[in-house]
Amino acid sequence: MGKILSLLLFLFLPFSLLSASEIDSTTISISKCQEKPVLWKKAIAPASFFIGTSIIRPFDNNIRDFRNDHFPNYKYNYDNILQVTPGIAALALRSFGVKGRHEKWHKMLTAMAFSTITTTAFTEGFKNTIGRTRPYSHYQRNSFPSGHTMTAFTSATILHNEYGCVSPWYSIGGYSVASIVGVSRILNNRHWASDVLAGAGFGILSGNLGYLMADCLFGKTETDLSFKEMHPSFIGLNANFSPRGNDIPNIQPDYRAIQFNHKYGYGYSIEGAYFPCKHVGIGAKTCLVYNIFEIDEEHLHLQEKSDERRYINFESDYCSQSYGFMPGLYLTVPISKRFLLGCKYLFGIGGTFSFNLDFDVKDKYDEGYHTKFYDEYNFGWSMETGGFCKVLVTKDVALSLSADYNRSNATYLFYQSDDIKKDNYNLIFALGVNVLLD
């Protein structure tokens, strides 16, 4: 056991400690913490992990086979706790009055919040977009990247950014714990080695982006340009989260209705607009939203009770896809040099792709049949309206936060089931990075 741990830690720690390479081997004064970070240095560790991911991927099967041959019964869940330990340590140090990068609680918590949001967006987006199978199952397609490892390295990067300038041992301790989490995910057979390396890279990237966003918000990053002096033309990439969406009613196998409740949605969008004047622009947005549904257990129970039949073998979650391309009008007004408020109305085309529904129906005599409904594509009109706020980071980059309401008549379709007449909608909150084109 010690040999394999040593081997895998040797693989992770050199990459991890690249993030701590800019600190001295002795305690550094607090004034060092306040210095503006060198961005290209922050990119070295994530880039090294991504290169390592490409190098190690051809050997994923060999590493998995080695684990299965030598440690087939390794099953420990300590990584569930260790993944957040460095972040908890940062909060504890701040609670005990140890001064770090940020003097105020709200600045530190804002940086941690941005880091957490970025980590969540990377994790859920890549897992469900790439759809790589797990090493222990061909049916679970959410292996890449490792979410535990990403959380651990984000947590370690938060500790490093906040207290690495106070003592290098905080950084070394945080990244050591994160590396143990990565090794554990491989030994537990939950992830391929390349999943873990990629998760480490995205974790460090998320932690650094969170602190960069906080620095921009609280004025550490200066710019010589103002929203009041420019036409805010832009192109940007958004990470979307949808807490509310429509349910799917009345999927009817053999004249018995099944309903699905919307849990949440997430996705990406690319958006851009040209402003011939400072306040009015024309633009367009293309978006992809993954909506997650669960079976309506109460409705299903009532159906079973009324017709004396049982539905079995349902999955826990179902994932659909919604698309849209919508041009439209943008209106903006600057409220300060660095802050801009705006709204938009977009109208265009949309589409949906439903999910497969595979289950058994049995009666009280345990006689029944197997039923499967196949997903289908549908398209129609789509509209979106909402408001946004932008924060100027540099003369070429702004961060945006928006709240949008999207609606489409491209309803979900299932092969051999009655059409669903209810329009689709999503309430979407989006965090984005905009490149300014003025």
Both tokens of residue 412?
A: 């979900």
Say whether both 206 and 283 belong to one domain: no
Say whether both 402 and 306 belong to one domain: yes
- Residue 167 vs residues 27, 170, 222: alpha-carbon distances, Å: 5, 6, 28
Say whether both 47 and 125 belong to one domain: yes
Question: Is residue 36 predicted with pLDDT exceeding 80?
Answer: no
pLDDT tens per residue, range 388-434: 999 887 777 888 999 999 999 988 887 766 666 678 999 999 988 88
Is position 222 within any domain? no
Say what the pLDDT of residue 28 is. 46
Say what the pLDDT of residue 406 is. 96
Non-local CB neighbours of 433 within 8 Å, separated by 6+ positions: 236, 237, 397, 398, 399, 400
Say whether both 90 and 188 belong to one domain: yes
Say what the pLDDT of residue 287 is. 92
Task: Read off the DSSP letter of residue 73.
Answer: T
Q: How confident is the model at residue 304 (pLDDT cuts 50, 70, 90)?
A: low
Instruction: Please give the Cα distance from 198 to 57 (Å, whole number).
Output: 10
Give the rounded percent of residues in the chain with a pLDDT score beyond 70: 79
Say whether both 390 and 420 belong to one domain: yes
Mean pLDDT over 267-290 rounds to 92
Say what the pLDDT of residue 342 is. 95
Say whether both 33 and 107 belong to one domain: yes
Question: Is residue 302 predicted with pLDDT exceeding 60?
Answer: no
Say whether both 237 and 189 belong to one domain: no
SS3 399: strand
Residue 96 or residue 130, greater confidence: 96
Mean pLDDT over 66-87 rounds to 90
The CATH number given to whatever domain includes residue 401 is 2.40.160.20
Say what the pLDDT of residue 152 is. 94
Say whether both 393 and 254 belong to one domain: yes
Structural domain containing residue 289: 227-436
Say what the pLDDT of residue 77 is. 87
Mean pLDDT over 1-17 rounds to 51
Query: Is residue 202 within 8 Å of 150, Cβ to Cβ?
Result: yes
Query: Is residue 33 within 8 Å of 166, Cβ to Cβ?
Result: yes
Question: Is residue 147 predicted with pLDDT exceeding 60?
Answer: yes
Say whether both 288 and 160 belong to one domain: no
pLDDT tens per residue, range 193-246: 999 999 999 999 999 888 887 877 776 555 556 788 888 999 988 888 899 999
Q: Can you count the helices (H) and strands (E) in the chain?
A: 12, 13
Instruction: Please give the Cα distance from 205 to 145 (Å, whole number).
Output: 13
Residue 302 or residue 173, greater confidence: 173
Question: Is residue 20 predicted with pLDDT exceeding 60?
Answer: no
Query: Is residue 258 within 8 Å of 307, Cβ to Cβ?
Result: no
Say whether both 335 and 384 belong to one domain: yes
Both tokens of residue 166?
A: 């106070």
Residues facing 424 on adjacent strands: 408
Residue 214 or residue 254, greater confidence: 214
**How would you classify the pairing of strands 309-312 and 318-334?**
unpaired
Say whether both 171 and 241 belong to one domain: no
Number of independent structural domains in the chain: 2
Query: Is residue 64 within 8 Å of 135, Cβ to Cβ?
Result: yes
Query: Is residue 410 within 8 Å of 351, Cβ to Cβ?
Result: yes
Mean pLDDT over 49-77 rounds to 89
Query: Is residue 111 within 8 Å of 210, Cβ to Cβ?
Result: yes
H runs (alpha helix) in 131-243: 147-163, 168-187, 193-217
Q: How confident is the model at residue 377 (pLDDT cuts 50, 70, 90)?
A: confident
Domain C-terminal end among 217, 241, 275:
217
Q: What sign for the dihedral angle of Cα 218, 219, 220, 226?
A: positive
